[in-house]
């Protein structure tokens, strides 16, 4: 069986470690150790993981996804479902396999079921369509013999591969609807050309062209695809200055990529420099917005103070973080905590407390006139407008979960291109 195609095994240790070991032994005994890949889930995150994952999957023709009864529901130390985190190894393995177009075969252990599309995150929903094989402890050897017989049937592998690579969903199908319900992050708003009131002094400014702007900041889920497409390794996406900075500082992923506090797939990616945001935009076929473009999309033509109007920000409008109540309230809260040590445990502040990022479509009441979310609060956003007197600083817009004072539509900061804070993200623009 030396001509047997390579096999990649994806599994969760806490779900099926023992039986996966038996499956691995069975396959290596029949096909040889060089034909079976396993244990990539133990590789540290970052460049090495991406390179080894890509290499192993590029050399494989089949990915066996071992699914036990806990596969779907296992959580990490932060009580998050592992499939929902942006850097879950198993999800990234399946996503890469599906994108590569190799055969993906769910192996169901002891009566486990193939997850429904609604239970799977976007990007791997097609796993529910893949032809599965069952393996039971009581009939292990018989089931493995059946599995290997199927693997050695050219028609089986070819059919699975074609299904994963090119199958088109019918219009209005349940699966298509399920996937479309998660496409809000990718939508763009059309911002029409024409004048608007710009800056604190509300000066008339004209943008003589239509353009599009992402309705949401770029999410962890979206940025994961950039990493998997080797965005950090492909020089063509980077400016010459950005590539040099990346190489000099050994930058392989966002600064807070492995921090559980900032891993939710529908939260904005943070810890990215201007150079990283710019590279992502080039990869996506877009660009970063200019300062005036961002402001027009945030305030419309009427010169409003905040994206939703001129009323004082409320916790229903945006992620205001620590300064959610009013100016000076955070200091008052610290004094109260000193006087009444148990006040934090009382839950009094929890209704308003969001000392981290939030889902990018959470604040529907805070949308701009053009339907853009999070243009006040959550994360600052990089803009492609340089400081007039400093070449190494560019514009940041929108305020963040950490700061309140720059929430107005006309406020901006000028910061170094290499800044990588946990309250800085970005969104993209596109020419029409």
Q: Would you state the pLDDT for residue 69?
A: 94
- Please report which confidence band the pLDDT of residue 185 belongs to, taking 50, 70 and 90 as the band edges: low
- Please report which confidence band the pLDDT of residue 170 belongs to, taking 50, 70 and 90 as the band edges: very low
SS3 label, residue 91: helix
Residues with Cβ within 8 Å of 411's Cβ and at least 6 positions away in sequence, in order, are: 397, 399, 405
Residues with Cβ within 8 Å of 119's Cβ and at least 6 positions away in sequence, in order, are: 72
Higher-scoring residue by pLDDT: 249, 348: 249
Give one word for 398, left, alpha or beta, with left for phi > 0 and alpha for psi -120 to 50: left
186-319+354-431 adopts what CATH topology? 3.90.1580
Q: Where are the domain boundaries for CATH 3.90.1580.10 in the chain?
A: 186-319+354-431
Higher-scoring residue by pLDDT: 329, 339: 339
SS3 label, residue 396: strand
- Please report which confidence band the pLDDT of residue 270 belongs to, taking 50, 70 and 90 as the band edges: very high
DSSP 282-332: HHTT-BPPPHHHHHHHHHTTTT-SBTTBSSPP-TTTS--GGG-S-TTHHHH
Is the per-residue pLDDT at 48 higher than 70? no
Alpha helices in 101-195 (DSSP H): 140-151, 154-166, 174-180
Is the per-residue pLDDT at 367 higher than 70? yes
Instruction: Please report which helix (H) or strand (E) contains residue 213, including its range.
Output: strand 211-214
Q: Would you state the pLDDT for residue 269?
A: 96
DSSP state of 305: S
Backbone angles phi and psi of 135, in degrees to 5: -135, 125
User: What mean pLDDT is predicted for residues 282-310?
Assistant: 94
Q: Would you state the pLDDT for residue 175?
A: 28
Q: Would you state the pLDDT for residue 316?
A: 83
Q: Would you state the pLDDT for residue 168?
A: 34
Higher-scoring residue by pLDDT: 389, 188: 188
Q: Give the span between the Cα atoms of 419 and 422, in whole angstroms.
A: 10
Is the per-residue pLDDT at 172 higher than 50? no
Is the per-residue pLDDT at 347 higher than 60? no
- Please report which confidence band the pLDDT of residue 431 belongs to, taking 50, 70 and 90 as the band edges: very high
Q: Would you state the pLDDT for residue 265?
A: 83
Q: Would you state the pLDDT for residue 186?
A: 66
Is the per-residue pLDDT at 322 higher than 70? no
Backbone angles phi and psi of 393, in degrees to 5: -130, 140
DSSP state of 84: G
Instruction: Please report which helix (H) or strand (E) contains residue 382, including its range.
Output: strand 380-386
Q: Would you state the pLDDT for residue 56?
A: 82
Least confidently predicted of 178-187, 204-213, 409-418: 178-187
Q: Give the span between the Cα atoms of 103 and 100, in whole angstroms.
A: 9
Contact in structure between 146 and 133 (CB atoms under 8 Å): yes
Least confidently predicted of 13-17, 244-248, 402-406: 402-406
Instruction: Please report which helix (H) or strand (E) contains residue 429, including its range.
Output: strand 429-431
Q: Would you state the pLDDT for residue 26?
A: 93
Q: Give the span between the Cα atoms of 152 and 61, in whole angstroms.
A: 12
User: What mean pLDDT is predicted for residues 347-371?
Assistant: 76
Q: Give the span between the Cα atoms of 185 and 168, in whole angstroms.
A: 22
Q: Give the span between the Cα atoms of 396 and 405, in whole angstroms.
A: 13
User: What mean pLDDT is predicted for residues 313-334?
Assistant: 61
Q: Where are the domain boundaries for CATH 3.40.50.10140 in the chain?
A: 7-174
Q: Would you state the pLDDT for residue 234?
A: 92
Q: Around Cβ 267, how many Cβ atoms within 10 Å?
A: 24
Q: Give the span between the Cα atoms of 298 and 304, in whole angstroms.
A: 9
On average, the pLDDT of the chain sits at: 82
pLDDT in tens, 109-160: 999 999 998 899 888 989 998 889 999 999 999 999 989 988 887 655 444 4
Least confidently predicted of 56-60, 61-65, 325-329, 355-359: 325-329
Q: Give the span between the Cα atoms of 310 and 428, in whole angstroms.
A: 26
Q: Which CATH superfamily is domain 7-174 in?
A: Toll/interleukin-1 receptor homology (TIR) domain (3.40.50.10140)
Strand partners, 395: 383, 414
């Amino acid at each position: 069986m030396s001509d047997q195609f390579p096999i990649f095994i994806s599994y969760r240790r806490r779900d099926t470690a023992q039986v996966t070991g038996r499956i691995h032994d069975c396959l290596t005994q029949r096909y040889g150790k060089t034909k079976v890949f396993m244990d990539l889930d133990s590789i540290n995150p970052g460049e090495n993981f991406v390179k080894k994952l890509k290499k192993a999957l590029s050399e494989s023709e089949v990915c066996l996804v071992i699914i036990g009864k806990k596969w779907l529901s296992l959580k990490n130390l932060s009580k998050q479902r592992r499939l929902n985190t942006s850097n879950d190894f198993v999800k990234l393995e399946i996503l890469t396999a599906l994108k590569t177009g190799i055969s993906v075969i769910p192996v169901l252990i002891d009566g486990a079921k193939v997850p429904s599309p609604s239970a799977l995150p976007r990007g791997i929903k097609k796993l529910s369509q893949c032809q599965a094989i069952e393996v039971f402890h009581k009939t292990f050897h018989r089931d493995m013999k059946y599995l290997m017989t199927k693997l050695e049937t050219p028609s089986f592998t070819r059919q699975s591969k074609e299904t994963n690579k090119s199958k088109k969903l019918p219009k209005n199908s349940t699966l298509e609807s399920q996937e479309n319900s998660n496409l809000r992050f990718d939508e763009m708003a059309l911002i029409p050309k024409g004048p608007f009131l710009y800056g604190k002094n509300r000066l008339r400014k004209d943008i003589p062209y239509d353009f599009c702007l992402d309705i949401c900041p770029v999410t962890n889920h979206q940025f994961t695809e950039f990493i998997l497409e080797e965005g950090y390794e492909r020089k063509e996406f980077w400016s010459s200055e950005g590539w040099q900075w990346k190489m000099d500082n050994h930058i392989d992923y966002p600064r807070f990529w492995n921090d559980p506090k900032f891993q939710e797939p529908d939260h904005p990616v943070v810890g990215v420099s201007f150079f990283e945001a710019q590279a992502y935009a080039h990869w996506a076929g877009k660009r970063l917005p200019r300062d005036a473009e961002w402001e027009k999309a945030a305030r419309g033509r009427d010169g409003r103070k905040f994206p939703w109007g001129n009323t004082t920000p409320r916790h229903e409008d945006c992620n205001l973080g620590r300064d959610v109540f009013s100016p000076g309230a955070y200091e008052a809260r610290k004094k109260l905590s000193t006087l009444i040590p148990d006040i934090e445990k009382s839950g009094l502040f929890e209704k308003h407390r969001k000392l981290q990022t939030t889902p990018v479509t959470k604040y529907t009441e805070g949308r701009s006139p053009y339907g853009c979310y999070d243009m006040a609060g959550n994360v600052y956003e990089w803009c492609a407008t340089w400081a007039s007197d400093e070449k190494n600083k560019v514009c940041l817009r929108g305020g963040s979960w950490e700061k309140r004072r720059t929430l107005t539509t006309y406020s901006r900061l000028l910061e170094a291109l290499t800044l990588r804070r946990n309250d800085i993200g970005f969104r993209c623009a596109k020419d029409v």
